[in-house]
Amino acid sequence: MATAPAKIDLEPAPPLGAVGQTRGRDLQFWPGFMGRRAPAPRDGELPMNTKRAAHYIRRSSRWMEAVRHEENSPPWRKKGGLFEYFASQLDWWQEQLADTW
């Protein structure tokens, strides 16, 4: 006599562009710039990967990876296994660096 297959409860995929939903995985955020948080990304702003973000701020992707967890690194968020950067936050970060010099 055959048994019925086990019922699998699948979690639905989040809608495209959903923020804060990563199919059960937690978002990790950048530690902050001298105790300050970057402003939220603009509405509809698409994230960049490490290579594009490095090009945007005129640095290498190896540099981005090396300083990622330091206090004064560019703002990022980790979604699943990928690091994401937003242009508006990178602009804010560069302004903060200019103010400290």
Q: Which among 45, 40, 23 has a CA at the least distance from the CA of 75?
A: 40
Is pLDDT of 87 > 90? yes
Tell me the percentage of the chain whose pLDDT exceeds 70.
73
Residue 32 Ramachandran class (φ > 0 left, ψ -120 to 50 alpha, else beta): left
pLDDT at residue 93, as a whole number? 94
Average pLDDT, the chain: 81
